[in-house]
Amino acid sequence: RSSALAQAPRHWWGAPSSMGCNGSKPEPEPTTGASTSTDSSAPPAKPAADAGDRRSEVRNSTMAEFGPQPSVTEEDMAAEQAKIQAQQGRTRRAGVAAESVDKETIKDYKKPVYPKDEETMARLRKTLKENDKMQVLCGHLDGEPLNDVINAFYTKEVKAGEDIIRQGEEGDCLYIINDGSVDIFVARPGPDGKIADGDRGQKVVTFSGGALFGELALMYNSPRAATVVAASDKVLLWVLAAQDFKMLLAQSSQAQYAKYEGWLSEVELLKALNHFELSKLADILESEVYDAGEEIIKQGDPGSKFYLLEEGEAAAVIAGDDG
C-alpha cells in the first residue's frame, strides 16, 4: 500500500433489540475503542425550488437510492448516472454531507461499539464492500476504521405495516435488512409541489434479507426519497446513524492527516514547507494498493506523482546498458 500525491489533482445476525433510529439509541457497551473483530461533503442543501424542480429532485433521488422506477425516463437515468460519477470523481473525504465540527470535538468523540460475533462482522463488512454507493462513502476504509463503522451498527425490530422511513422526512440513518422484507413506496408531489399527508404513493419494489437502503442520508443533506414499510410479520434491521458515520469518518481522516503530515515532514525536499503547507499536501494524498509483483512506476515513463510507502515493501530496479 502506498500514498500517492498527484501533481494535478434469511436471518444473518442474531436477535435484535427493539430500538428506533429517530428515538434514543441503545447504550453501547463500555469500550476502550478497540474493535470486536481482529479482521483486519456533499454540496450544501439546495435553496427551495419550484414544484417542477421538486418533482424532478424527488424522482432522481429516488432512483439513486432504490433503482429505476416505472416512470423514470432514459434522460433521468443519464442525469442521475452523471451525478453519481461526479460524486465518485470528488476526493473521497469530501463525499459525505457533514456539518462544521471542530477538531477537539472530533478528537473527544467516543466510538460506539455494539458487540457482534465474527460472522456478523464479516456479513456487514461484505455488504458495505459490495454496495457501489457505499464505496463512494467508505471504499477507502479498511482494517480498524472499517471495523469502527461496523461496530457502530445497532439492531432494530419493526412490525408489519410500520413505516421505517417516510418520504420527505430528514434522513438520519442507513439500514441493512437482517431478516424479513420491506416494501418501497414513492408518492408524486401535487401541483403545489407537496405530498398529501398519509399518501405513500405507488409501491415500486420489495427488498429482503441483506438489502441496504437509506444510504443517501449519509451522502446528502436531503429529504427521504421514498417511504419504506415493513412487509413481513417482523423485520430485523441493522442501523447506522448518520451522525456516528460522519464522526467516525472525520476521526479517521484526522488521524490519517496527522500520519501523512508526519511522513511529509521527513521528506528532505519538503522540509522548507510550514505546517499549513504540509497539511494542504496531506489533504490531497490518496492511498493506492498494489499486489506483489505489480509495477508502481516504470523507468522511462513521464512522472506525474511521488509516493510514500505506507505499508509493505517495494524494490527499486534500474535497467542499465548491461541489463
- The band of 2, judged by pLDDT with boundaries at 50, 70 and 90, is low
pLDDT at 1 over 70: no
Domain boundaries, given as residue ranges, for the chain: 11-242
Residue with cell 469500550: 31
Question: In DSSP terms, which residues pair with 223 in a beta bridge?
Answer: 170
Q: Hey, what CATH topology would domain 11-242 get? A: Jelly Rolls (2.60.120)
311 known ligand binder? no
Whole-number Å distance between alpha carbons of 86 and 60? 15
Mean pLDDT of 245-261: 76
State yes or no: pLDDT of 95 exceeds 50: no
Average pLDDT over the chain reads 73
Which backbone phi and psi does 175 adopt, to 5 degrees? -125, 145
pLDDT at residue number 96:
45
Query: Does residue 234 sit in helix, strand or coil?
Result: strand
The C-alpha atoms of residue 157 and residue 219 are separated, in whole angstroms, by: 25
Q: Which residues contact 169 (CB under 8 A, 6 or more apart)?
A: 223, 224
295 labeled part of a ligand binding site: no
In single-letter form, the type of residue at position 154 comes to Y
Q: What is the mean pLDDT of residues 30-42?
A: 42
pTM of the model: 0.57
Which set of grid coordinates corresponds to residue 20? 428506533
**pLDDT greater at residue 211 or residue 95:** 211
**Residue 176, strand partner residues:** 212, 238
Looking at residue 167, its amino acid is Q
pLDDT(85) > 50: no
Which residues fall within 8 angstroms of residue 148, CB to CB, at 6 or more apart? 33, 35, 111, 248, 251, 252
**21-25, 57-61, 183-187, 191-195: range with lowest mean pLDDT:** 57-61
pLDDT tens for 125-158 read 888 888 887 777 777 777 888 889 999 999 999 9
CA–CA separation, 254 and 237 (whole Å): 30
pLDDT at 80 over 60: no
CA separation for the pair 123, 161 (Å, rounded): 27
Q: Tell me, what's the pLDDT at 55?
A: 42
Strand locations in the chain (E): 2-6, 154-159, 163-165, 173-179, 181-186, 202-208, 212-213, 227-230, 234-241, 286-288, 305-309
What contacts 43, CB < 8 A, 6 or more positions away?
A: 220
Q: How confident is the model at residue 233 (pLDDT cuts 50, 70, 90)?
A: very high
Task: Look at the block and give the residue holding cell 433489540.
Answer: 17
Across the range 177-184, mean pLDDT stands at 95
Overall average pLDDT of the 239-255 stretch: 83
Q: How confident is the model at residue 278 (pLDDT cuts 50, 70, 90)?
A: confident
* Residue 180's pLDDT band (cuts 50, 70, 90): very high
The CA-CA-CA angle for residues 128, 129, 133, to 5°, reads 70
Confidence of residue 3 (pLDDT cuts 50, 70, 90): low
Assess contact for 67 and 132: CB atoms under 8 A. Answer: no
Give me the pLDDT at residue 165, please: 92
- DSSP letter at 267 equals -
Q: How confident is the model at residue 10 (pLDDT cuts 50, 70, 90)?
A: very low
Query: What one-letter code names the amino acid at 310?
Result: E
